Amino acid sequence: MWLLLIILGGITYYLAKKTVAPVTRTPIWIIWSVMMMPAAVWTIWYEINGEDQQMPILWIIVPLVICFVLYVWLIRLGKIPASEQTKPTSQDSPTQPINLEKTPQESEIIRPITATEEKSLRDCFPWGVYYLQNLDYRPQAILCRGKLRTAPEKAYQSIKKNIEQVFGDRFLILFQEGLQGKPFFALVPNPWSQNEEQISDNKEKLKRPLFALGLLLLTLLTTTMIGTVSMAGVPQESLNNTPSLLLEGLPYSLGLITILGIHELSHYFTAVRYKIATTLPYFIPIPFFLGTFGAFIQMRSPVPHRKALFDVSVAGPLGGFIITLPLLLWGISLSEIVPLPTAENASLLNVEALDPRFSFLFAILVKLVLGSSFVAGKALHLHPLAVAGYIGLIVTALNLMPVGQLDGGHIVHAMFGQKTGIIVGQLTRILMLVLAMIRPEFLVWAILLWLMPLTDQPALNDVTELDDVRDFIGLFSLVLLIIILLPVPGAVSSWLQM
């Protein structure tokens, strides 16, 4: 539990630095302490009472409510005015969406264009495409409000072309839904506006193949060591005396790196297809726990539209899942059937005696591979390759959570719009908290979801909706999340004789 708390603390501090530090002067370590307080209280409770004891509901709710109120109060106490908040630079991907619907600041209105340029800007809006009614100057943007008179995609492309002919790459042209449901255009200073020499330099900095390769090799080492000792059960003393035993960990390490790598490469190549500036996949090696904290890419330029946002987001989980399936089926075939553990030893982390009935999909896969040999009262001692596939399944589910900046959050945003995405994200966080009360193994997930912002960076054209094929794929990804998390109902378990 304490190891998980330390890991959670590191992730929480990173999220706080990224999302909270730019908007408040309150010391980040104070906000981080408040964010971590519920997890610390729950960890202490489990250390005193044991993990097999059910935590009282008040121990869950009271720390959350108190710390949430403190969290909001501390941020507001040192809130930085919007006009003073840090703007993204060409070296950093903007992680927070610009709230273009905020009320104007009391400070003096900033006019980033001249009267002549304003007239030229008004001429960029043909009345038959988008009837411009007024320009609204904000510290961080020029809002162009009016009435949409044609299809959103056609309007965006037409007006974007007109504005770029007048201003070049001086502004990013955003197209967003307003609070009243009326789409508006916004011109935001373009942090990626550069000369050719700067573009060339940044491309070289973006692609760091030797750094990415070094992290990959280091992660291969750490995961192989963990796979040998923790997954294959080779004693540390034997490994020290016979280094060749390290090969026992390769099924785990190669399987896990393949799954994580395919996930991130699917994101990467889809982003490249849409000409989004993106780093290579970077693995995060650690010498304990799973041997890695996973892998990631960073997109360093805006997403052009909601179709691109959807495609980039859904490519990772689906790509990872497609490679996870055969590896998991292979690993299950190599696993050993063992007696079901006692209640105090039952856990989703107990790979030596894992009850596959915790997941509808996992149970179906086990029954598909092992058939009648797997019956009620039995569990699985997972082969190292099956452990890698099992982790791949969990990673797929976690990424498909429809919250904020997770892949699932992007998918829901692209399908239904940002406002609906925020509502779905909030409902998901509440449902996950309820699930954590029933199954404590999901408590860490619930905490992570509550710490994540509900909003994500909008696409430049955030109005044009998806087509039917993408909507179907999006719904499939949400169904996939449900069947991974949903335990096997009793009736189905009896029917499957497991």
d(CA 427, CA 454): 11
For the stretch 255-291, pLDDT in tens is 999 999 999 999 999 999 999 989 999 998 888 778 8
Q: Is the pLDDT of residue 149 over 70?
A: yes
Q: Say if residues 272 and 295 touch (Cβ distance below 8 Å).
A: no
Burial class (CB in 10 A: 0-12, 13-18, 19+), 392: buried
| pLDDT at residue 195, rounded to an integer | 52
E strand segments, 166-281: 171-177, 183-189
d(CA 390, CA 331): 9
At residue 192, φ and ψ (nearest 5 deg) are -95, 10
| pLDDT at residue 439, rounded to an integer | 74
Structure-model confidence comparison of residues 243 and 399, the more confident one: 399
Tokens, residue 475: 């719904």
Structure-model confidence comparison of residues 133 and 60, the more confident one: 133
| pLDDT at residue 7, rounded to an integer | 65
Q: Average model confidence (pLDDT) for the chain? A: 83
| pLDDT at residue 47, rounded to an integer | 76
Query: Which of 227-236, 337-346, 408-417 holds the top average pLDDT?
Result: 408-417
Percentage of residues in the chain having pLDDT higher than 90: 40
Least confident of 229-243, 303-317, 398-412, 465-479: 229-243
For the stretch 373-400, pLDDT in tens is 888 888 899 999 999 999 999 999 999 9
Closest among 340, 363, 319, 375 to 485, alpha carbons compared: 363
Q: Is the pLDDT of residue 83 over 70?
A: no
For the stretch 429-463, pLDDT in tens is 888 888 877 777 777 788 778 777 777 788 999 99
Number of Cβ atoms within 10 Å of the Cβ of 165: 10
Q: Say if residues 469 and 477 touch (Cβ distance below 8 Å).
A: no
Structure-model confidence comparison of residues 21 and 204, the more confident one: 21
Q: Say if residues 304 and 247 touch (Cβ distance below 8 Å).
A: no
Number of Cβ atoms within 10 Å of the Cβ of 238: 12
| pLDDT at residue 88, rounded to an integer | 38
- Residue 283 makes CB contacts below 8 A (sequence gap 6+) with 212, 215, 216, 218, 219, 257, 260, 261, 292, 294, 295
d(CA 1, CA 320): 28
Largest CA distance in the chain: 80
In the chain, where are the structural domains located?
A: 2-84, 115-192, 213-495
Whole-prediction pTM: 0.79
| pLDDT at residue 199, rounded to an integer | 52
In CATH, the number for domain 115-192 is 3.30.1360.100
For the stretch 283-336, pLDDT in tens is 988 887 788 888 889 888 889 999 999 999 999 999 999 999 999 999 999 999
For the stretch 165-201, pLDDT in tens is 999 888 989 999 886 778 999 998 887 665 555 555 5
Structure-model confidence comparison of residues 5 and 94, the more confident one: 5
| pLDDT at residue 57, rounded to an integer | 63
